[in-house]
Structure formats: C-alpha cells, structure tokens
Amino acid sequence: MMEKIISLCKRRGFVYPNSEIYGGFSGFWNYGHYGSILKENIKNLWKQRFVFDREDMFLTDTSIVSSPMVLESSGHISNFGNEIFKIQIGTGEETTTSHLRAETAQGIFTDFKNVVDTHHPKLPFGVAQIGKAFRNEISPRDFIFRSREFEQMEVEYFVREKDWEKYFEMWRGSMLKFLAEVGIKEVKEEELSPEDRAHYSKRTIDFLFDYPFGNRGEVCGLAYRTDFDLKNHKLDYLDEESGERMVPHVIEPSFGVDRSFLAVLCSAYTEDELGGEPRTYLKLPKNIVPVRAAVFPLLKNKPELVNKAREVYAMLKKNPPVGGPNIEFDDNGNIGKRYRRQDEIGTPHCITIDFDTLEDDTVTVRDRDTGEQERVKIGELIAKLKS
Ligand code: ATP
C-alpha cells in the first residue's frame, strides 16, 4: 500500500525524491505541483481554524536561524545534541556557530515580549507559526514521515498556571476536530509516560495514525510545556489591570505538516471498480483538494466544443466554488484517461462539454466518488459544485 501511494505521489506530481537525478538525498523531499497545492490548502485551513476563527491568536513568521544563545537557553543543545544541524555564520575569521531550529516554537518564545508590547493581549492568548524545522535524524525513513527537513504548524498558548488543564482539553478538542476536517481517519491518542516526554513537558498526548508502513506514527502532539521556556529565557508577563507580574504557562498543539499531508493521502487513497475496470482515486475532502473541478471538451479537434469548454472554464475560474480556486482545463487523451488522471488527483467534479451542450446549454458533471454523471445547466453549474 505504501509503495502504491509513493508511486502515485511521483506519477501525479505530489512528491518527488530530492536530488533524484543525482541518485536522491536521504531525508529530503520535494513537493510537486499538486503536492504543493494540497500542502498549502492544509496549512491555510489550519491557519483559518487555529488563528482567524479565534479572537485570542496572533500569527508570526520567525527565522530558522537564531542567536546560539536561544537553543542553549531552551535546553535543546544539552538535550538533543547531535540531532541539531550545526551551521557556520559569516566568513573568514569572524564566524559564529549556530543551528537550524529543530522546532518552530523558540522564535515564538523569544518574541514573547514583542507580541505583548505590540498587542497588549490579556491571558490566555496564543501565537501561531508555520515553518520549517530540521533534525539530523539518524535514520530518515518511511517516505516523508521521518525526514531531516520538514514543516511544522505550532501554537504556543499562554495561560495562568491554574488554568492549564482546562486549556489543554480545549486544544485537544480543536486538534481532533481539525484532523477529522482534513479527513485523517481513526486517530488514536496516547498519553506519554514521564520517561517518554520531552525535557520541557509535564504532560504530552501524541495523536497517532496507522501509516501503512507497518506501525503507528505521531501526526501531531499536544504538550503542557509549563513555564519552562519563558523562565529559561527570563521572560515574564505583567497583568496591566491587577499589576500582577508572573510567568505564564504554555500549552502547545504541534502538527507536522508533512505527516499530516501523508495521513491525509493515506486516508483518502481508495481502490474500487468502476464500469468493470479497477481504478484508484483520492477521496479527499473538498476543502483541501488540489483541483476543485476539471473542464473537458469531448473532442479536442472540434473548435466549437473547445471554445465552449474554454468559456465554462473561464466562468469557473472567475467564480471558484468553495474549497479552492484551482480549476483545470484538459483536452489530452480520451475522456476515460482524463477521468483516471483527475481521480488520482482527487478532483471532486469533472465537467464535459459535448455536442448536446451546443444545443441545450447543459454539461455532464461526473462525481469522483460514485462515477455517476448528470446533466446540469451551465447557469446552475456553480450552485451544483457548491452543494
Ligand atoms: P517522533 O517521536 O516521531 O520522532 P517527536 O515526538 O520527536 O516525533 P515532536 O518533537 O513532538 O515530534 O514534533 C512535533 C511534530 O513535528 C510531530 O508531531 C511530527 O508531526 C513532526 N515531526 C517531528 N519530527 C519529524 C521528522 N523527522 N519528519 C517529519 N515530521 C516530524
């Protein structure tokens, strides 16, 4: 099953091995056209749910490299040592050794004072960030599951110590909801024992998915980081109303983008039979699909069909249905081949313009999941795709 998914990812332009023409480079991957769109859609939905739908969240985008003091203070150097990529900054004799970040979180902590000074937020509030992280994994494996360069979507949520359990539960619920919304099926929660938790955590739940390479793997995790990080960076918070000074505690929901992407693909991957033929399709939720609808002229050598199809295509591009602006035009090969290609990309609807269209202004709309086709008036097409 994993082999089939890896092969589909390459064939359809979701994920390519890095530096493939030089034999590949272990632990690094490239996202192709459809992979980049799917990944972007997952990230945008996360931003929507974890930042814009709420009133207590700020967004940030901090740099990958920071002063060497940051990872010293956060305990990463003493606790992870080898796993962190060392880099040289500067040239000649004036060089400084620093590191590529292993999690996006530290940029949020070190900017804590700036966020408070700019926005004067009341507790509880959070800061969210999507960005790259790097770990020098000893054995990168299982496709994009364990790589050396990956992306994270993290929230650091600052609370009063007495409230940590309440907000831990709140974020646990939001994480489960998000996993369900992107179509990740049957997530199992695992409470980590103190020996298995990271050095900064007093409670951690891992959210596990049955990836088809034989064992369960963590898609995302929820940690109670206490006041460990802010204390180590010597940061605190002044309650402007009561005048009370304190170090807030932190709840951290942390998602791996690549592991979410892979779990989405594995959950969506479906094989069935349609019209007596075996087929493969991606049953992706409509709001994250790389292509929302594809428009075909029945025949590519009939200008009247091509022109009409281009008209419908332009209309949909201008009024994209919910779930993404990406509409495709395709006149390559026969209709069967075009359906097969769109099924493997996960396109929910294919629209075909045929000779009847020229007579009665209706088109055929084919449903990805059932393969069923129905005639729809062009004037009702946008409403139909929205339903
Ligand atoms: P694991 O135990 O599987 O190595 P972890 O507990 O070290 O993961 P965290 O430190 O909690 O992971 O990182 C937060 C998230 O970042 C993880 O839930 C995961 O989705 C992602 N992640 C961590 N390491 C990798 C990696 N090497 N490749 C891809 N994603 C990763």
Nearest atom, ligand 1, residue 254 CA: 14
Asked if the model's pLDDT at residue 76 lies above 90, the reply is: no
Q: How far is the CA of 97 from the centre of ligand 1 (A)?
A: 25
- For 190, the 3-state DSSP assignment is strand
Question: What token pair was written down for 30?
Answer: 């490239």
Angle between the N-to-C axes of helices 2-11 and 257-268, in degrees from 0 to 180, rounded to the nearest 10: 100
Asked if the model's pLDDT at residue 232 lies above 70, the reply is: yes
What would the pLDDT profile of 137-163 be if each residue is shown by its tens digit?
A: 999 999 999 999 999 999 999 999 999
**C-alpha to C-alpha distance for 10 and 29, rounded to whole angstroms:** 11
Q: How far is the CA of 103 from the centre of ligand 1 (A)?
A: 9
Report the pLDDT value the prediction gives residue 77, as an integer from 0 to 100. Answer: 75
Block residue for tokens 């990271």: 198
Asked if the model's pLDDT at residue 44 lies above 60, the reply is: yes
% of the chain residues with pLDDT over 90:
85
Report the pLDDT value the prediction gives residue 324, as an integer from 0 to 100. Answer: 61
Report the pLDDT value the prediction gives residue 59, as an integer from 0 to 100. Answer: 98
| Closest among 62, 40, 70, 71 to 129, alpha carbons compared | 62
Contact 147, 258 (CB under 8 A): yes
| Closest among 350, 352, 293 to 321, alpha carbons compared | 293
**Contacts of residue 102, Cβ cutoff 8 Å, sequence gap at least 6:** 71, 76, 80, 83, 84, 133, 134, 135
Q: What are the backbone angles phi and psi of residue 233, rounded to the nearest 5°? A: -90, 5
Over residues 213-240, the mean pLDDT reads 94
Report the pLDDT value the prediction gives residue 356, as an integer from 0 to 100. Answer: 96
Q: Whose CA is nearest to atom 21 of ligand 1?
A: 256
- For 288, the 3-state DSSP assignment is helix
Q: Whose CA is nearest to atom 15 of ligand 1?
A: 256
What's the pLDDT band for 39 if we cut at 50, 70, 90?
Answer: very high
Asked if the model's pLDDT at residue 133 lies above 60, the reply is: yes
DSSP symbol at 55: S
What residues does ligand 1 touch, defined as CB less than 6 Å away?
A: 135, 137, 146-147, 150, 152, 218-221, 254, 256, 258-259
Report the pLDDT value the prediction gives residue 322, as an integer from 0 to 100. Answer: 59
**C-alpha to C-alpha distance for 367 and 384, rounded to whole angstroms:** 11
Q: How far is CA 301 from CA 298, 307, 334, in A?
A: 9, 11, 12
Q: Whose CA is nearest to atom 11 of ligand 1?
A: 221
Mutation pick for ligand 1 pocket among 76, 200, 218, 264 (CB with most ligand atoms within 8 Å): 218
Report the pLDDT value the prediction gives residue 323, as an integer from 0 to 100. Answer: 57
pLDDT, the chain, mean: 94
What's the pLDDT band for 386 if we cut at 50, 70, 90?
Answer: confident
DSSP states of 291-331:
-SEEEEES-TT-HHHHHHHHHHHHHHHHSPPTT-S-EEE--
What would the pLDDT profile of 178-208 be if each residue is shown by its tens digit?
A: 999 999 989 999 999 999 998 889 999 999 9
Asked if the model's pLDDT at residue 282 lies above 80, the reply is: yes
Strand-pair category, 216-226 with 293-297: unpaired
Report the pLDDT value the prediction gives residue 310, as an integer from 0 to 100. Answer: 97
**C-alpha to C-alpha distance for 293 and 351, rounded to whole angstroms:** 7
Q: How far is CA 339 from CA 263, 305, 365, in A?
A: 24, 18, 11
Q: Is 125 left (phi over 0), alpha (psi -120 to 50) or beta?
A: beta
Over residues 316-328, the mean pLDDT reads 77
**C-alpha to C-alpha distance for 375 and 362, rounded to whole angstroms:** 6
Q: Whose CA is nearest to atom 5 of ligand 1?
A: 218
Asked if the model's pLDDT at residue 325 lies above 70, the reply is: no
DSSP symbol at 50: I
**C-alpha to C-alpha distance for 133 and 152, rounded to whole angstroms:** 7
Q: How far is the CA of 347 from the centre of ligand 1 (A)?
A: 30
**What is the CB neighbour count within 10 angstroms for residue 217?**
18
Report the pLDDT value the prediction gives residue 344, as an integer from 0 to 100. Answer: 97
